[in-house]
Amino acid sequence: MTNKFIEISEVGPRDGLQNIKQIMPLEVKKAWVSAEASAGVPEIEVGSFVPPNILPQLADTAELVAHARNIPGLCVAALVPNLIGAENAIRSGVHKITIPLSASETHSLKNVNRTHAQMIDEIKNIVALIKTIPEVDRPKFEGGISTAFGCTLEGKIKTTKILELAIALMDAGCDEVGLSDTTGYATPSHVVKLVKAVKAEVGDNNLTSLHIHNTRGLGLANVVAALDHGITTFDASLGGIGGCPFAPGASGNIVTEDLAFMLDSMGYDTGIDLKTLMKVRKIISNALPDEPLYGFTPDAGLPKGYPNAYRD
Amino acid sequence: MTNKFIEISEVGPRDGLQNIKQIMPLEVKKAWVSAEASAGVPEIEVGSFVPPNILPQLADTAELVAHARNIPGLCVAALVPNLIGAENAIRSGVHKITIPLSASETHSLKNVNRTHAQMIDEIKNIVALIKTIPEVDRPKFEGGISTAFGCTLEGKIKTTKILELAIALMDAGCDEVGLSDTTGYATPSHVVKLVKAVKAEVGDNNLTSLHIHNTRGLGLANVVAALDHGITTFDASLGGIGGCPFAPGASGNIVTEDLAFMLDSMGYDTGIDLKTLMKVRKIISNALPDEPLYGFTPDAGLPKGYPNAYRD
């Protein structure tokens, strides 16, 4: 019997580093990505294609993609805010592009200076661009609904608004939608409610991923709730660094090590070797000695007898 | 429609303080217990009846019980390791007595210097003592199976061993059993498996409480799993202080504030006013300025629009 595969998508090089003032040298980023891929992490979001004056920390994303593409079996993902970003992402050769669409229009205007309608237009232009690529080479294109569980500026977002945006993203030609708890507002019951509602609108296979923050400590609890409702990909950040600099009060992705430990212990197949993964922290702490790294499992260590005498 | 009531049992004055070298003055403990009861916490484990040379931090438990008993509506609980402790607990007038029985016999010998058989004999003696009290005045008596999810000394404990001990506790005359993740080894799937198995043996109403640690960050995830399987009482510690000094590597109860926030946000009734609860931290931090207090929700603050515009 094989265990169910749950994909962990590492977003530290993007969501983590964009929240840190210090710029990690490209060579360290390369070592990080290579080491995490070696530990078995199947997908890594290596950066964002945004103007370097906005996020100088991610200015070398194209070079990092070029490096990561050479790692066999790794899905190399990147975030783009607009058509220009998508052009650059495609040129770099990424396997997956995600564009965030903030459910909070206030946040969207602050973050990318665009209304919902303007964002959907931009997304249609990106889809048209992708369609000019031979089908075999096309990157996967995801519309990620950010602030889906609430916004620090607007508060709670109505479910009908999320459904409307999810449908608009699929109609615009996205391959799938994702839900992002940019602000750490999600609760297990809200996750279940929203995942069920969105899946009912866009189809079970068109919402399979969640991007959850651990702002109020509910990150793994939200994962557990989502696992029972057909979510199979979870974003996480090594050492829990990261957040959204444009959403005040938002902080902290789920810690990759804790998520991998939980899933593995629950009998899911993540493809990740935990002991190898733990060692990757050293690459980050050596390069960014002033940045705190989080993680309960790295602090406490693996349980006695792990994994064979421990797993359920 | 009324929301389902989930009971949070505060164990900080016992499990928290026993793990801290500094002794909290009795007057501060009284203020803490009173303040938390005012915030709506329905049950507080105020201490342990152990010899003062073993845990001098809890030497004033009887005085604290006397104070707490005067707070209307509060269930005053205490831990006892043996018959002498139970005699003292009964004399103090507690409403509830819990005796820990470690599923790991190695841990039991280290912790209380008794085998399983010796512990069950002791528990029978305590039951006999309780039965001498007029029924209306009898404290509730719980057998708490500690290291139920694994032991730092023995590793994983077989489910058959837990079932055997649960039955032995009920047969000895306990009113109910509880499961304790003393070492922070529990995972959501293990919680579901063990809760279902124990309930099947002792009856649904005789296992309603869990004592979960957050050692590997899975505390709230384990709560979410347990909520779906008939667990209605969860232990937690204000500011997350606490642990078991006799289980190396064990640390950190679930943070009361985070648990209360999660349950409240999910639409459960805890009876707790979160804003009032948050203020209780000040009593602890003023008295123990060198002890770190934990909690994601206290650090991040409550979400915009909380509670009315936020709750599911």
Q: What is the ipTM of this complex?
A: 0.92
Give the number of domains in chain B: 1
In a domain, A137, yes or no: yes
Q: Does residue B2 lie within any of the structural domains?
A: no
Q: Of B223, B262, B296, which has the smallest distance from its Cβ to A214's Cβ?
A: B296
Nearest CA in chain A to B224: A221
Domain assignment present for B312? no
At B101, the pLDDT band (50, 70, 90 cuts) reads: very high
DSSP single-letter state for residue B4: P
Q: Does residue B244 surpass a pLDDT of 60?
A: no
Which amino acids of A are annotated catalytic?
A: 244
Q: Domain for residue A2, yes or no? A: no
C-alpha–C-alpha distance, residues A96 and A93, integer Å: 9
CB B36 within 8 A of CB B10: yes
Whether B39 is in a domain gets the answer yes
Closest CA of chain B from A64, distance in Å: 32
Specify if B136 maps to a domain: yes
Q: Is the pLDDT of residue B1 over 70?
A: no
Segment A145-177, tens digit of pLDDT: 999 999 989 999 999 999 999 999 999 999 999
pLDDT (mean) for B222-243: 92
Q: How confident is the model at residue A274 (pLDDT cuts 50, 70, 90)?
A: very high
Where b means 16+ CB within 10 Å and e means fewer, A57-76 reads bbbbbbebbebbeebeebbb
Asked if B258 and A184 come within 8 Å (Cβ–Cβ), the reply is no
Q: Which of A188, A193, A217 minimises the CB distance to B258?
A: A217
Cα distances (angstroms) measured from residue B174 to each of B120, B124, B144, B153:
10, 9, 10, 27
**Given a cut of 50, is residue A287 above it in pLDDT?**
yes
3-class DSSP state for residue A112? helix
Q: Is there a domain that residue B311 lies in?
A: no
Q: Is the residue at A307 inside a domain?
A: no
- What is the distance in angstroms between the Cα of B79 and the nearest Cα belonging to chain A? 26
Q: Read off the tokens for B208.
A: 């309603």
Domain with A203 in it: what CATH number? 3.20.20.70
| Backbone angles phi and psi of B132, in degrees to 5 | -80, -10
Cβ contact (<8 Å) for B187 and A262? yes
Amino acid at B288: L
What is the pLDDT, as a whole number, of residue B245?
Answer: 43
DSSP B123-142: HHHHHHHHTTS-GGGPPEEE
The answer, yes or no, to whether residue B111 has pLDDT greater than 50, is yes
pLDDT tens-digit series, residues A174-204: 999 999 998 899 999 999 999 999 999 999 9
| CA–CA distances in Å: residue B251 to residues A28, B243, B261, B280 | 34, 4, 21, 21
CB–CB contacts below 8 A, A to B: 137
Of residues B144 and B290, the one with the higher pLDDT is B144
Q: Domain range for residue B49? A: 7-300
